[in-house]
Structure 1
Amino acid sequence: MKLILALGNHPPRYQKTRHNIGFIALNRWALEHSLSFSRSDLFDYIVFRQAVAIKPRTFMNLTEQALKAALLRWKISEILVLHDDIELTPTQLRIRSGGGDGGHNGLKSLFNVMPPDDLKRIRIGIGRSPSLPADKYVLDEFADEELAGYDESLKLVSRFLDTFIRDDFNSMLNDYSKWKKSYSDGKTVGIKSPKEEKDD
C-alpha cells in the first residue's frame, strides 16, 4: 500500500492558508475522482486502489502522530508527501526524494519518524512575502484570485498522484520529466528541470 500524506493544519480556520496548499491539492484530487474522506482519530483518509491518502487531524508540528498511526494501520511500501514550499515561487512544482526540512515544521515532525530519504515529495511553491515574516505569511489566507492561479498546478499534481498510485514514484518522476519536455521555454508553472531536484 502506498501512502500519500498531505501537510496542513486541520482546524477550519486554516483551510485556505498557504501552509495548507498540500490539503488543497489532495482535496482537488479527491474531487476529480468523486471520492470522500473517512475520519479516524488522527487523520481523514481515502483508500483508493493500492493507496491511502491522508490529511492529518493534528497541527502541523504534530504530523508525526498521524504518520505513526497510518504505519500501524497499513503496510506501507512508499510514502509521498504533498507540502508547501516558501523557497519556490507561487504555483511552481518540484518533485524529489529526500532533502532537508527547509524550516518546515511538518517535515521536521515527519523526520522524527522517518529518515528524509524514505520520503518522496511534491513541493508546491507559495513564495515569500516582502513584508510579512515567514511564520505569519504561511498562515495568511490565499486571496480567491491568487488561489485560482494554482488551477493548472493542481491539475498537474492530480495527474502525478494518479501516476504514483498506478505505478510508483519513479514512474511519477518520469511523467513529470516528460510533461516538462513538452514545453520549450521551461517556464510553465515554474518547472525548470526535467530531472529530480536535489536542492532545497
Structure 2
Amino acid sequence: MIVRIFLVGIGNPDRTYRFTRHNIGQLFVDFVAEALDVSFQPGKGEYVYARKGDLFLFKSLTYMNLSGLAVKSIVDDFGVEISQELFVCHDDLDMEPFNVKVKYDGGSGGHRGIESCIYHLETLDFYRLKFGIGKPKGMDPKDYVLSQLSDDELNKFEDSFKIALEGIQVMLNEGREKGITFINTYGRRMNDG
C-alpha cells in the first residue's frame, strides 16, 4: 500500500509573523522543504506547495483563523483522503515547549486555526502534528503566540523538527502507525536534555 502524506503548515502569511510561535507549523514545513531540497510553487487556492515523491508540503496563505479555507482547497485540489493522509502542523499552548506529537481527531483545544479546519472540512477526523510552545508566564496568550522566537528557541525547535521529519520518513517507508509511534515516543523527550 502506498502511503501519501500531506503536511499542511498553518500560520499567518505576513512576513512580520514568520518567526512567531503561532507560525511554528509553517516553520516546520519550511524546514522539511529545505532538508529535502524542494521549492514551493503557487497552488490553485490560498496556499503554496512542494512535493518529494509521496510527501506533499503546503503552507496556507490565509491568516490563522481562516486556515480551514486553505486546507479545504488543498484537500479538494489534490484528492486528499482526510482521515488517512492529512497532517495539519501547528503550535500547541498545552504542550511543553519543543515537544512534538501526533494526535488524531478530537476538538480544537481552543486553537482557532484548528477550529477553522474542523469547520471547513466538516470533520474532526484528521491528524494534527503539534509542536509545544508552552503556556505564557505573565503574558496574554494572544500576545504570546504572536511573539517572536529567540535564536535559542529556534535552535531547539530545529531539534524537534528533526524528530518529526524522521518520523515522517518512517511513515513513508514503514507505514503510518510506525512513524506516528516514533514521533510520539521521541518527540516528548525534547525537554529531557
Normalising by structure 1, we get a TM-score of 0.84
Deviation at 1:69, TM superposition (A): 1.3
Alignment map for 1:45-124 (pairs within 5 Å): 45-77=49-81, 78-112=85-119, 113-116=121-124, 118-124=125-131
Give the paired residue count: 184
Alignment map for 1:146-185 (pairs within 5 Å): 146-166=153-173, 168-176=175-183, 180=186
Cα deviation, 1:103-139, whole Å, max 9, x if unaligned, reads 10100000012411x2112211001111111111000
Deviation at 1:95, TM superposition (A): 1.7
The answer to which structure has the higher helix fraction is 2
Alignment map for 1:8-47 (pairs within 5 Å): 8-40=11-43, 41-47=45-51
CA distance in 2, matches of 1:187, 1:52: 25
CA distance in 1, matches of 2:151, 2:130: 21
CA distance in 2, matches of 1:96, 1:111: 14
Q: Unpaired runs of 5+ in structure 2?
A: none
- Where 1:80 maps in the other structure, the secondary structure is strand
CA RMSD in angstroms comes to 2.0
Please tell me the residue identity of whatever aligns with 2:98: T
User: What percent identity do the matched residue pairs reach?
Assistant: 26
Q: Would you identify which runs of 4 or more consecutive aligned residues in structure 1 move more than 4 Å?
A: none
CA distance in 2, matches of 1:187, 1:17: 21
Contact in 1 for aligned 2:100/2:188 (Cα 8 Å): no
Contact in 2 for aligned 1:88/1:127 (Cα 8 Å): yes
Distance 1:166 1:103, change over 3 A: same
Cα deviation, 1:153-199, whole Å, max 9, x if unaligned, reads 1111111222334454313123336x54xxxxx972148xxxxxxxx
Out of 5, 9, 12, which is 1:6 matched to? 9
Deviation at 1:93, TM superposition (A): 1.5
Normalising by structure 2, we get a TM-score of 0.87
Q: Unpaired runs of 5+ in structure 1?
A: 181-185, 192-200
Contact in 1 for aligned 2:100/2:183 (Cα 8 Å): no
